Amino acid sequence: MSKVKALVIRAPGTNRDGEAVFAFEKAGADVTLAHVNQLIRGERNLFDFQIFIIPGGFSYGDDIASGRVLANELKQKFGEDMPKFIDDGRLVMGICNGFQVLVKAGILPRVKKGETPRVTLTNNDSGKFECRWVHLGVNPKSPCVFTKGMESMYMPVAHGEGKFAGDLKAITEKNIAVYYTDDKGDRKAGYPFNPNGSMNNIAGICDDSGRVFGLMPHGEDHILVTQHPQWTRLGLTKDGNCFPMFRNAVKFAESI
């Protein structure tokens, strides 16, 4: 069986593409890193891949709003390809800025042509850039492919516009893949455990199929045990506890 092929796209201002490539390569995928313009020019074909990843960073300097410009590019250039890619059974992951792109492009949650997204990711309640490690609890009712079999995770956030807000009727409980929690798993813990004021402590969502996943914290930054800020003090020896997300995705994509 040939290796799963994953595509990580980048644009001016992205800065977590290298970490995303590493995470999926470690999970066993054959990863291609390509500039979005290579897709637009047809030098790369989206349908040559089983997994499509939009990494974190500040695409196009986050002009207008975080992820807005890249989201508009995807809508204008790949407005028909993206739904087909997803409906073919393939996987999509957006991390931090990538999550913002998926939401503002109307990919997650899926928005019909001519409609306006009913949720968004907006300015943190604190009014400042938040950069710290956070605890996440996995929703056991979610069909999310990436978080299958997981209960909790620990990873850093680094964003100024990470608050999930809007009309929560646009999603169901099962669409909520992960919540911000405190170190005891309390999903109602407030700031700073919920670093941005997201409604219902939502840290990431998925579509009904579980194959399209948007995550605000940086799971790709806790792949190795040595990335944990207290790995020596705690005597940790295994992989970072976010690594199963990427392994789950690659394992699932082997059947595509």
pLDDT tens-place string over residues 189-209: 999 999 999 999 999 999 999
The 3-state DSSP class for residue 231 equals: helix
As a whole number of angstroms, the distance between CA 45 and CA 74 comes to 14
As a whole number of angstroms, the distance between CA 68 and CA 122 comes to 11
pLDDT for residue 73: 95
Q: Give the helix/strand (H/E) hosting 212.
A: strand 212-215
The domain made up of 5-253 has a fold known as Rossmann fold (3.40.50)
Q: Is pLDDT of 1 > 80?
A: no
Query: Pairing relation of β-strands 5-10 and 30-35?
Result: parallel
Q: Is pLDDT of 16 > 80?
A: yes
The region that residue 28 occupies, defined by phi over 0 for left and psi between -120 and 50 for alpha, beta otherwise, is left
pLDDT for residue 115: 87
As a whole number of angstroms, the distance between CA 80 and CA 46 comes to 12
The 3-state DSSP class for residue 252 equals: helix
User: Among all residues, which ones are annotated catalytic?
Assistant: 96, 218, 220
152-159 β-sheet, strand order: 30-35, 5-10, 51-54, 91-95, 212-215, 202-206, 176-181, 130-138, 152-159
pTM of the model: 0.97
Full DSSP string of 46-101: GGG-SEEEE--B-GGGG-SSTTHHHHHHHHHHHTTHHHHHHHTT-EEEEETHHHHH
As a whole number of angstroms, the distance between CA 204 and CA 214 comes to 5
Mean pLDDT of the chain: 96
Annotated domain spans of the chain: 5-253
CB 213 within 8 A of CB 204: yes
Q: Give the helix/strand (H/E) hosting 232.
A: helix 231-234
Q: For the segment 86-109, what is each residue's pLDDT rounded down to a tens digit?
A: 999 999 999 999 999 999 999 999
As a whole number of angstroms, the distance between CA 147 and CA 132 comes to 22
Neighbours of 164 (CB within 10 A): 27
What tokens were used for 57? 């960073």
Q: How confident is the model at residue 114 (pLDDT cuts 50, 70, 90)?
A: confident
Q: How confident is the model at residue 153 (pLDDT cuts 50, 70, 90)?
A: very high
